[in-house]
Amino acid sequence: MNTENTTTIRRIATTTGAALAAIALLAACTTEEGSGDTVSQPPIDTPSASATDAGAEETTESTETADEAADTASDDAGDDAGAQGDDPVFAVIDAVLAEYADGFIVDIDREDRGDRYDVDVVVGNEVIELEVTVDGEIREDDREGDDDDVREAQQATVTAAEAIQEALNQQEGSVFDEAQLDDDDDRLVWDIDLDDEDGRDLAELTIPAN
């Protein structure tokens, strides 16, 4: 091989080596720039287990508080209903109105034996006479057309139960005996008789009927 060819080969090798070195350097720079361009993501702020548990406990306590308040209100309502039902006459009234939903009671009289009541209820244009036990058994005795009773039933806005409860509230420890809707000097009233716990006459009260 002559000297000229050897020199040419050396130049080619040198050029090739330089090109390879340049390629390697370019690749290294690209890798570094790529690494530098990487954007780090901020950590996601997720609630800790303790914070989640605390929130759940707070929600549970709020729910329990609401439930307790509802139970208390329900108990109070039940106590009020029970207070009105202490005297057997209220069970008798409930039984009559369950049977005659459109009726208006104008007269109730407790019999001497204490476990039965004579009840007059106005339904439409009729007065129905009933015998009712404290257990709610009803026997119909008679029907008649009494214009005065029908008119008074239509005009009254205070029911027998409301008037009786008011009378019992005024006489502590009293027992119901009789209630009658009556027109007293153009004033509609309930005449109510109460006994003591031994069955003796205790009081006669007049309660406005409207």
Confidence band, pLDDT 50/70/90 cuts, at residue 34: very low
Nearest CA among 180, 183, 210, 209 for reference residue 193 = 180
pLDDT digit string (tens) for 60-74?
A: 555 455 555 445 444
Tokens read off for 102? 């459109």
Other CB atoms within a 10 A radius of the CB of residue 98 amount to: 10
Q: What's the pLDDT score for residue 57?
A: 55
- Whether residue 22 is predicted with pLDDT greater than 60 in this model: the reply is no
pLDDT digit string (tens) for 114-149?
A: 889 999 999 999 999 999 999 999 999 999 988 899
Confidence band, pLDDT 50/70/90 cuts, at residue 82: very low
- Whether residue 14 is predicted with pLDDT greater than 60 in this model: the reply is no
Confidence band, pLDDT 50/70/90 cuts, at residue 186: confident
Q: What is the average pLDDT across 171-187?
A: 93
In the predicted model, what is the mean pLDDT of the chain?
Answer: 75
Least confident of 75-79, 142-146, 175-179: 75-79
Burial of 180 (0-12, 13-18, 19+ CB in 10 A): middle
Burial of 99 (0-12, 13-18, 19+ CB in 10 A): middle
Other CB atoms within a 10 A radius of the CB of residue 17 amount to: 10
Q: What's the pLDDT score for residue 146?
A: 86
- C-beta of residue 112 within 8 angstroms of C-beta of residue 118: no
Q: What is the average pLDDT across 173-193?
A: 94
